[in-house]
Amino acid sequence: MRRWPMPGSSDEIREGEQRFPFDPADRTEAGLCFIGRIRSPWSKGNCPKNLREARERGGDFRLELDEGYEGALRGLKVGQAIQVLYWVDRGTRVLAVQTPGHAPEPRGTFALRSPVRPNPVALGTSVITSLDTDYGIVGIDATDAFDGTPLLDIKPWIATVDAPPGWRPGA
């Protein structure tokens, strides 16, 4: 099932979709370093559409840090929620307006959680299920990232900081 155009097939867009008038990849202004890779059972054709579906389907999920980053895990604990930032390296960056299958009409990229973005940075909130600080391996409850996706950062999710005051789901 093809959900999003992949590199090399940017001419494949759905009705109602619009490209940016430029390629965002040509406007690089920052440098990043990958700190490791995400491991999952997902690849093109079998990936869930979001974290909720990934949790429902289950699997073996973990973050594998590159050598030298192990010490940065200090203070994290099993059962803790974390925010996982990653680079969607197999996605496209060219769509300003997209036509998602779950919506009745096209929407702007910034109104969607789609991996198709000008900067292919994704954010997922996961729960730590295991932690090996000697080898830099963090087991997590789920991810919707392809196996081998580059890892950018890990941050603790903190309710008093990350949930807006007075916010309620569905409000």
pLDDT tens digit string along 100-140? 888 889 999 999 988 889 999 999 999 999 999 999 999 99
pLDDT tens digit string along 37-94? 999 999 999 999 899 999 999 999 999 999 999 999 999 999 999 999 999 998 888 9
> Sorting pLDDT into bands at 50, 70 and 90, what band is 165?
confident
Answer yes or no: is pLDDT of 170 > 90.
no
Mean pLDDT of all residues in 164-168: 84
pLDDT of residue 171: 60
Return left, alpha or beta for 79; rule: phi > 0 is left, psi -120 to 50 is alpha, else beta: left
Answer yes or no: is pLDDT of 8 > 80.
no
Q: Are 23 and 93 in contact (CB under 8 A)?
A: yes
pTM of this structure: 0.84
Burial code of 63-87, b = ≥16 C-beta within 10 A, e = fewer? Answer: bbbeeeeeeebeeeeeeeebebebb
pLDDT of residue 106: 93
pLDDT tens digit string along 11-28? 678 888 888 888 888 887
pLDDT of residue 14: 83
All domains of the chain, ordered by start, with CATH?
Answer: 40-162 (2.40.30.70)
> Sorting pLDDT into bands at 50, 70 and 90, what band is 4?
very low
Q: What would the DSSP string read from start to end of 13-53? A: --TT-EE-SS-GGGG--------EEEE-S--TTT--SSHHH
